[in-house]
A and B are shown apart, each in its own frame.
Chain A
Amino acid sequence: MTPDASQMAGFSGGGPDFSLMQMALYGFLFMIGVLMLLTMLATLSLPVFFGALAAMNLGLKGTNNLPDPLGKWSKLAGLVFRSLRRNLLRTALTYIALFVLTGMLSFIYMIVSFLGNFTAEKEGQQLVILTEKFSIPSQMPPGYARQLKDIIRDKLPKQYQPADIDNSFMTWSFVGATTDPTKFSPENNFFLFALDPDAISSGMMAEQGLSKEDLGEDDWDKLLGLVELVRQDKRHIIIGEDKLKIMNKQVGDEIKFTSTNYRELEFECKIVGAFPSGSRLGGGAAMRYDYLQSKLDAYLVQKGQPHPNADRCLNLVWVRMPSKEAFERLAAIVNQAESFSAPAAKMETFSAAVGSFLEPYKDIFWGMKYIIMPAIVCIMCLVIGITITIGVRERRAEMAVLKVLGFQPRQVQAMVVSESVLIGVYGGMLATWCVYFLPMFITKFTKTVGVKFAFFDNFKPSEWILLYGPLLGIAVGLIGSFMPSRSASKVKVSEVFAQVA
């Protein structure tokens, strides 16, 4: 979900084109998968949960012999652990339910916060984009790139210019392609970014997952080697490993394709390398922009008139500006410049562009944040509340006995609340810890065995969930046990024993 995705829409060459129904279906299937995964994790983590409870209980037993009041309190606290062990099945099921719900909540939270971070305006270095203002996909004259570069060099004060403009500048042209114009199918169709190969080595494609951090040192070095091969010959192209498999091609193959968005243009290329499988370009491809340009020039010579898209072959321009202020200055110039008025172009930050792309889905994200997340918290409170209520009802006579023995209502209440909070904390903590550490574990494992999954490679959960999980567990435990603990503290001894007798 990057702005390039929105700009790609409309090219039949193979860019993602999800309808809302498809998105809903994928979302639903994803949620089912997550639910199953979480349920499995919750079940697998049961020994950890009960082990932790047993360890805490053992620790408490160890403190029973400490001088009072510590020893006395630890004995009373021990009652809470024993109550939880009383009905292991119920405790386990409650834990699993809380684990799954907290896990779901964490997933949704991570998605929402990930998008929030993506779309939040940042201070410091800014990745900015020049696009056509009123049209999707953006199609601008190629001269816009040179004009923009000139403005940055000539009209911006030195402190607002990127340190090295050539290495902070990149253009994208989208080329839809098919190896068989008579048959449109995934085996024949693919999508290329036409760009300057230096854009990859200079790190301008870092946001697309082509960086040393994302790929690792070895893969990055390999990629630089491929870029060098592309530099040597404009016919050299790189295709993603995943796409190569679908197309039944391999590195070294010669490939001839026709463009689907540049009518009548044909390209003969050699596949010199592959983007790593599972990376964001694993299903895409890249070619040299000057090869596209030379084909457009050849068209002019051949046909005596320019190609219909020759003046609209620039889709995006990326610039890495040194600061927010520098971007604002540049944007002000671009927005006022007549040279960017036919067609009108706009300059915006990457995060703003992502925000614009996500605009149609904002209701879904709003619903996730303000309806689904609170609903999950409410369900968690209900789950824990029902469990504790059943426990309290079963033990009304015991609660009454405690009161007969002299326990204060608040002490009885505290015991019930502690049971609830204990389950909540462990459910919340283990769920969020699993959600946090699992992708790292999978990444490590898949790297070891040489397999790559785009999702896990790029998924970096916020560290905050490590804290939020237990805190959520405490909150849910407190809220869920409010009613049952009050009911336990208000047990009327005379009524309980009148019923028993």
Chain B
Amino acid sequence: MAIVEVRDLCKTFNPELPEPIRVLVDLNLDVEEGEFVALMGPSGSGKTTLLNLVAGLDSPTSGRIRIGDQVISDMSESQLARWRTRNVGFVFQFYNLLPVLTAYENVELPLLLLPMSKDERRKQVNNAMEIVGLADRMDHRPGMLSGGQCQRVGIARAIVTDPTIVVCDEPTGALDSKSADNALNLLNLLRSELGKTIIMVTHDPTAANRAQRIIHLEKGRVMDADEIQLQPAVA
């Protein structure tokens, strides 16, 4: 059974206007557990909107989204907030770390919302920081880290709660090629070693090629003909 199941998904902005903006139109999508999927498409094709809907950051106009065994399309805002803490890790283009917190504290932040003991939190954070290779930068603030390191902290924050899916919005968009390569290697490692399901939005074909499957979106629809099966990438 697919871990992400999207059925007849529609998202319309400004539905009250005479000409509403229909961003997603009857979209269907399945993502298997442990799969690394890249969403591509021109600007305005709806890929970020789809990502936000799958991550529970927005609610669909109609249609159904199931993640794991939970249907999130029917959830209220506060239910979604609770659900996100446990089930979604989000990697941003511009890292979006809190500048007043250290790397350790940034990664620990989502755990503060979970019923966890202090020791469990410390263990989880240390583990995540070791996975991203920044165990020696725990006490550094974002301003003291490079862009690549910041993105790795962002990835550590995304996986620290051991989420069902990791969603990435242009994770390499603000990085140089070497740092981008490292970040993609890390995402692949998460998939291959930890079995994480990853959905990544990108404009960069090189980054997309590191995914197992590329889904092309255009005008709010999945372009079936362009769906390309790739060999699993090597971390």
| Contact surface of A with B, Cβ cutoff 8 Å | 65, 67-68, 71-72, 75-76, 79, 82-83, 85-86, 397-398, 400-409, 492-494, 497-498, 500-501
Contacts and interface: CB of A to CB of B under 8 A. Distances in A.
Contacts of B57: 403-404, 493-494
Contacts of B78: 408-409
Contact of A405 (B52, B77, B109): B109
A85 B90 CA distance: 27
Given A497-B169, A498-B48, A501-B48, 17 more contacts: A65-B118, A67-B117, A67-B118, A71-B118, A75-B105, A82-B100, A82-B101, A83-B100, A397-B94, A403-B57, A404-B57, A405-B157, A406-B81, A407-B81, A497-B52, A500-B94, A501-B170
Interface in B52-85: 52, 55, 57-58, 77-78, 81-82, 84-85
Nearest to B90: A404
B192 interface: no
Contact of A493 (B52, B100, B105, B117): B52
B92 interface: yes
Nearest to A400: B96
B230 interface: no
B100 A79 contact: yes
Contacts, number: 80
Contact of A501 (B86, B93, B105, B113): B93
B110 interface: yes
A434 to B, nearest CB: 30
A401 B113 CA distance: 14
A401 B100 CA distance: 14
Given A497-B48, A501-B170, A398 B93 contact: no
The CB with the most chain A CB atoms within 10 A, among B81, B93, B109, B157, is that of: B81
Nearest to A501: B93
A406 B113 contact: yes
Given A75-B112, A494-B49, A497-B169, A408 B118 contact: no
Contacts of A500: 93-94
Contacts of B81: 403, 406-409
A398 B100 CA distance: 11
A21 to B, nearest CB: 54
B98 interface: yes
Contacts of B85: 405-406
Interface of B: 48-49, 52, 55, 57-58, 77-78, 81-82, 84-86, 88, 90, 92-94, 96, 98-101, 105, 108-110, 112-113, 116-118, 157, 169-170
B169 A501 contact: yes
A494 B52 contact: yes
Nearest to B95: A401
Q: Which 3 A-B pairs have CB atoms at the shortest separation, nearest pair first?
A: A406-B85, A82-B100, A405-B110
Contacts of B92: 401, 497
A71 to B, nearest CB: 6
A10 B73 CA distance: 85
A500 B57 CA distance: 15
A405 B113 contact: yes
18 contacts: A67-B117, A72-B112, A79-B98, A82-B101, A398-B96, A404-B84, A404-B88, A405-B90, A406-B81, A406-B82, A406-B86, A406-B110, A408-B78, A408-B81, A408-B82, A494-B52, A494-B57, A501-B93
Nearest to A64: B118
A337 to B, nearest CB: 79
A85 B92 CA distance: 25
B48 A405 contact: no
A68 B118 contact: yes
Nearest to A71: B118
Given A406-B110, A501-B169, A401 B48 contact: no
The CB with the most chain A CB atoms within 10 A, among B88, B99, B118, is that of: B118
A76 B112 contact: yes
B138 to A, nearest CB: 15
A401 B112 contact: no
B84 A405 contact: yes
Contacts of A497: 48, 52, 92, 169
A406 B169 contact: no
A409 B113 contact: no
Contact of B98 (A398, A492, A493): A398
A497 B47 CA distance: 13
A412 B82 CA distance: 14
A500 B92 CA distance: 10
A401 B118 contact: no
A346 B43 CA distance: 90
B164 to A, nearest CB: 13
